[in-house]
Amino acid sequence: MNQHLVSEVYLKQFGYQDKNSQWRVCVLEKSKFPLMAKANKRWIAHKSIGSVLSKEDHFDFDDTDNPEFVRMIETANTEVETLLPELYRELKTGRKLSKRGESILAHFVSNLFVRTSYFDAWLENMIEVGGFERLMEECLFFNTEQENAEFTKLIKNPQFASGKNRTNMSRFLFWNYFLRRLSEFQYYILEPAKGTGWISCDNPVVVLNHVNAQSVIAFETEIIFPLNSHKLVLFKTARSKKVSGIFKGARHKNTTTATSEITEEINRIVSDTAEDMVIIPDVQQHREF
């Protein structure tokens, strides 16, 4: 089964329908940047949303005793995605998000983060440096005793001790942990400067950690998440003592318009975070040149 690392519902916020009503998204591939620079041209690839940023059975558990576990993550992904249209309808009103809207946003940001190649690479690094057990302990910190007993049993199960199954179990546990930690964050919604738009990428939840590479979430962590070409959300903790310039003028829980300098800076950060694909909205504005 083809499973998306970046949600199809999310990609459609930056995409368009071609003459055959097929959804596509415009991307710049970073691996081709040297050729583009040499030719002094930019090549826009028009990718089918149905197949882009997807892998076969990527989130499935292999060889488990319980068949319900096999597609547990993909089922949870789908459940979150079905709520997204409700969030985007709220965003269009320009008013503050409702409590439910805030909850959907937090669930989706957490879900999308653990689906990306960025998370997989970070987790692999944690394993290599011997930080995996500490990470699992941290993930269980916010749970009840009953939840921890169940999760600890799963973690110690040999079926989830290595390889793809360990990655996916970690993905599931960290999703829950990330969601709970987001409750400590304040959020700010930004619109881009006039005549511009927000871009996204294949790692759309951009985590800026000002502490160390071994920690994803800390007091100084900042998060950038492009919602679509018209709206972007920034997260930071209230206790942060080091705040980036991209927050200048932003108001907690409100929608403000970014300056052209901040718009350019945020889009640069998002582009730099991409593994290979930079997602460009509004196809009519991006023809080959």
The Cβ of residue 112 has, within 10 Å, a number of other Cβ atoms equal to 22
What pLDDT sits at residue 286? 40
Between CA 273 and CA 267 the distance in angstroms is 10
CB hemisphere CA count around 157 (13 angstroms): 18
Q: Identify whether the C-beta of residue 196 lies closer than 8 Å to the C-beta of residue 260.
A: yes
Look up residue 217 and give its two tokens: 């979430």
Q: Which residue has the tokens 């790692």?
A: 203
Q: Identify whether the C-beta of residue 26 lies closer than 8 Å to the C-beta of residue 276.
A: no
Between CA 228 and CA 207 the distance in angstroms is 18
- For residue 283, count CB atoms less than 10 angstroms from its CB and return exposed for 0-12, middle for 13-18, buried for 19 or more: middle
Q: Which residue has the tokens 């005549």?
A: 195
CB hemisphere CA count around 265 (13 angstroms): 11
SS3 43: coil
What pLDDT sits at residue 41? 64
What pLDDT sits at residue 218? 79
Q: The whole model's pTM is what?
A: 0.89
SS3 39: helix
What pLDDT sits at residue 155? 66
Between CA 271 and CA 51 the distance in angstroms is 21
What pLDDT sits at residue 23? 94
**pLDDT tens per residue across all 289 residues of the chain:** 789 999 999 999 999 999 999 999 999 888 887 766 656 666 788 999 988 899 888 898 887 666 777 888 899 999 999 999 999 999 998 789 999 999 999 999 999 999 988 889 888 888 888 877 777 777 777 666 766 676 676 666 766 667 888 888 888 888 988 998 898 899 999 999 999 999 999 999 999 976 666 667 878 899 999 999 999 999 999 888 788 999 999 999 999 999 999 999 999 999 999 999 999 986 444 433 2
Q: Longest Cα pair distance anywhere in the chain, in angstroms?
A: 60
What pLDDT sits at residue 213? 60
Domains of the chain: which residue ranges?
A: 185-284
What pLDDT sits at residue 201? 96
What pLDDT sits at residue 282? 60
